[in-house]
Chains A and B, each alone.
Chain A
Amino acid sequence: MSKTDNKKDVIIVGTGIAGSLIAKLLTDHVFDVEKGKMIHRADAKKSETIREISILMYEAGLEAGLELDSASSMTTYNEYMRTFYMQEAKVPNSPYPNLKQAPSPNVLDIEPIIPPFPDKKGYLVQFGPMPFASDAIRVGGGTTLHWLGTTPRMLPNDFRLTEKYGIEIDSPDSDQKTPINWPIDYNLLKPYYEMAEFEIGVSGDVSKQEYPISESMEQYYGDYVFPMEEIPQSYMDQKIIDGLTGTNVQLNFQTIPLLMVPSPQGRNSTPNPSYGKTRLIKAEALQSGYQLVLDRSEKEEYKALGAVWNPYMGERCEGNASCVPICPVQAKYNALKTLKKALYKMNDNENLQRNPYLEIKAQSVVYRLSVDENEAISKVHVRRYISKEKTDFVEEVIDTSDSIVILAANAFENPKILLNSKYTVIENGQKVEKIVANRSDQVGRNLMDHMVMLTWGLFPEPIYSYRGPGSTTNISSFRDGDFRSEFSAWISPLDNWGWSWPAFSPGSDVSEFLSEGLFGAALRDALTYRLSRQVLFHFEIEQLPNPNNRVTINDQYVDALGIPRPVVNYDLTDYEKRAMEQAKLASDQMFERLEIEDFTQYNASDNNTFVYNNVRYSYNGAGHIVGTHRMGFTPEDSVTNSYCKSWDHPNLYIVGAGNMTTLGTSNPTLTLSAFTIRSVESILTDLETQFKN
């Protein structure tokens, strides 16, 4: 066992988007010793006595390329590309190392569960009864390496489902009902959405956004443009828009007009001249505490940020059409871009220089936290494995009594670490065993994902799918409405990549026609006809928090390093099932109007399938793994406050998708980025106190 002696002010677990955002924003600020305040690096004069914030980041994935110097980051990323080309099943995790020392959930491991026996095939131990259907990847930069990059904001009512629609959920193990309003609302989060859109680099057209909300777009966005102009909608989108604009869909008891909206996306297009100059996310000192603002005093024009190894590559989306699982030119945002801004700072000669106050330790799996008598996190326990091949590891402990600890892993790993961190306190002369950050008993609960119901068919004329980013348009009509008291809201992206997701096209089409005996010109013609007409509709259905959908740990199930694997219990309720029924109604009506020949098929052998009102529905995961350390109003109803700070420990933050109180109908990355950025205000305040003592 080794002990690290050089103390760090902040320990961050995870280099995904949450950890990288915090590292970037903290390293952009320094402590002005004279004023006793945190100030932005840009405002620090040379003569001033400043103190840097020292940070240590842990990453469970491999070390290769994580220093983000040009040579090693390019070599590492090119290796991902080579792997992608060679993988038969090009699933989201396929380009990235599949590590036995830091395993990841993989969609290829999912299979139907026959209770009471769990599915233990992959990393997750799944008790079901419904398999959890999404994956994530433990690699430098996290799952943003294979996210699609769609970045809608949440809608105002998403934050207040109880207040607006009367929805309450069960409390853990009791008959009591719990409200599911967020402790923050849309208006409060709005400036942080703008900061997240700046940092990610969002392309989109504010004036074309149209949502079924009572607020005007003026109220929703204000006087605002996205940093970059809209990513062009696909030829297919335009054909579908032509056929559906101005029409309605009839759900049970409700007629809903179809709104076809170009999706805001975290991929590079042309910088918007109206956005103008680039920005700084800067902390302004308040009477007590800090407020982050999007400072406009920079003189440089806003520029699209390309690949981490070469900024002159990937300045525009080039139409690789492989956003999931990997963008070859990094025109799609990934968290390595933000991490690089933390690792390298501009020196006096305006050259990038390695920031010596940030250290990244990779191949380091954090698995437990210790707590001292003041309930502060006193130690972080790490197992650092030696090589990609071997499972030998070194046990490391770092003293964190005077540090701030930030868990910024995904919504499986954060609760896993917490649940594995037990400690004993004496209360009223009695020994009481506790779990870190779990006074509310909410750690690991409320696991959620969007249920993606897919419908597919053949368009009456060629629409030439398989081109462009995964999705460039969405139907926003069902994202909010009175129906939410009865069933889930959903968003409907139009998918540009044919039937590749539900039917493994084009491979399946080739084998189908071959098995029919087609060859030569007849085979060519059949494939051309089929593949140029394939359309895929996509219904991302909001799942409500449910305390019994949860991640737990169990000594019986450990990984190669002896660290507990996430044990998952998971199911759907009628609220979501009914939404799928309604979404299918909507799909049928849209297919009929567009004269799409329906090829949708749901089978009893599908991994995620159920029968509702005598009709079978199947769905996929969306990769939107959220909710397992929810934020809330009180230590009793939640794991963290609205700044992602644990209610139970003075120096612990838990950030990431797990903080989401509810899921809404947005892809969660933008929202988690917004509230993660906001959490930095609280972290800076704590650091100020720490530095003054």
Chain B
Amino acid sequence: MIIINKILNVDDYYFDVFMSISESLTGFSVNELQATGLAETYYTYILGHLDAATFVEFLTVSKNVFETSFTEDQLRNTIASEIMADPGMNDMAGKVVTMWYLGTWEGTYINDLSYKEGLVWNLMHAHPPGAKQPGFKSWSIKPVTTKS
């Protein structure tokens, strides 16, 4: 734990980059991502499960993307060209999105909360089966569709 915290402290900037690129890739705001309660868990999980250089490279590229983009359109185009079009970066981006959307990293749930906090269920105006039960009869009417 101590070591992980140390990394977080030293690499605070990278954590912010991670959250920012997560926001751009998932389409969910940093605030919505934080609301899963799993942001730091995910960040440290990747640090622990990936060759550090690979993750640092992804974050460095991401950092550059933000530094060279001044509008939303620019940001989208730069992500498309620098990340999505690059096989290695694309793979990382896919894994990060999957983590936020489904709670899994390479097919494995991070912990028993990550399944419940998958964001994909919000997109379909539903909830993860077996958790966050909406209550009797809720399924018989049109769901709540506010965004956050």
Contacts and interface: CB of A to CB of B under 8 A. Distances in A.
Given A82-B112, A88-B108, A466 B76 contact: no
Given A234-B140, A524-B123, A319 B135 contact: yes
Given A466-B129, A472-B139, 5 more contacts: A86-B109, A232-B136, A506-B121, A520-B76, A527-B101
A520 B24 contact: yes
A90 interface: yes
Contacts, number: 149
B133 A464 contact: no
A85 B131 contact: yes
B61 interface: no
Given A467-B126, A506-B120, A517-B84, A318 B133 contact: yes
Contacts of A235: 139-143
Given A85-B131, A321-B130, A464-B124, A519 B137 contact: no
A269 B136 contact: yes
Interface in B91-133: 93-94, 97-98, 101-102, 104, 107-109, 111-113, 115-116, 120-121, 123-127, 129-131, 133
Given A88-B109, A232-B137, A510 B126 contact: no
Interface string A460-481: 0010111111001000000000
B120 A531 contact: yes
A497 to B, nearest CB: 7
B19 interface: no
- Top 7 closest A-B pairs, CB basis? A468-B139, A322-B130, A531-B124, A524-B27, A232-B140, A467-B139, A322-B129
27 contacts: A85-B109, A86-B115, A90-B129, A232-B137, A235-B141, A235-B142, A238-B140, A316-B136, A318-B134, A321-B130, A328-B131, A328-B133, A464-B142, A465-B126, A466-B126, A468-B138, A507-B104, A510-B97, A517-B80, A517-B90, A519-B24, A519-B93, A520-B24, A524-B123, A527-B101, A527-B124, A531-B120
A532 B108 CA distance: 25
Contacts of A316: 136
A519 B104 contact: no
Contacts of B109: 85-86, 88
Contacts of B17: none
A511 B93 CA distance: 12
Contacts of A84: 130
B26 interface: yes
Nearest to B106: A88
A85 B27 contact: no
A82 B141 CA distance: 30
Contacts of A506: 101-102, 120-121, 124
A496 interface: yes
Given A85-B115, A86-B109, A328-B133, A319 B120 contact: no
A91 interface: no
B26 to A, nearest CB: 7
Given A88-B107, A321-B129, A466 B124 contact: yes
A497 B128 CA distance: 11
A90 B115 CA distance: 11
Contacts of B124: 464-466, 498, 506, 527-528, 531-532
A88 B104 contact: yes
B79 interface: yes
Most chain A CB within 10 A, of B28, B80, B120, is at B120
Interface string B3-25: 00000000000000000000011
Contacts of A233: 140
A81 B130 contact: yes
A496 B139 contact: yes
A255 B127 CA distance: 40
Interface in A64-91: 81-82, 84-86, 88, 90
Interface in A306-336: 316-322, 326, 328-329
B145 to A, nearest CB: 9
A81 B76 CA distance: 40
Nearest to B115: A85
Contacts of B102: 506-507, 510
Nearest to B79: A519
A517 B141 CA distance: 34
Given A319-B135, A514-B98, A467 B143 contact: yes
Contacts of B112: 82, 85-86
A269 B80 CA distance: 50
A319 B134 contact: yes
Nearest to B24: A520
B130 A326 contact: yes
Contacts of A497: 129
Contacts of B79: 519-520
Contacts of A519: 24-27, 79-80, 84, 93, 97
B129 A320 contact: yes
Contact of A527 (B25, B115, B123, B141): B123
A521 interface: yes
Residue from the set B94, B107, B133 with the largest chain A CB neighbour count within 10 Å: B133
Nearest to A85: B112
A469 B98 CA distance: 26
Contacts of B93: 514, 519
A165 B78 CA distance: 69
A318 B130 CA distance: 10
Contacts of B142: 235, 464
Contacts of A86: 109, 111-112, 115
Nearest to A82: B112
B129 A510 contact: no
A521 B125 CA distance: 16
A198 B93 CA distance: 54
B21 to A, nearest CB: 10
A520 B25 contact: yes
Contacts of B141: 235
B140 A321 contact: no
Given A88-B107, A328-B131, A532-B125, A520 B26 contact: yes
A586 interface: no
Contacts of A507: 102, 104
A523 interface: yes
A232 B136 CA distance: 9
B121 A319 contact: no
Nearest to A321: B129
A466 B121 CA distance: 9
Contacts of A523: 25-27, 97
A81 B129 CA distance: 11
A549 B123 CA distance: 45
A464 B127 CA distance: 11
B98 A510 contact: yes
Contacts of A238: 140
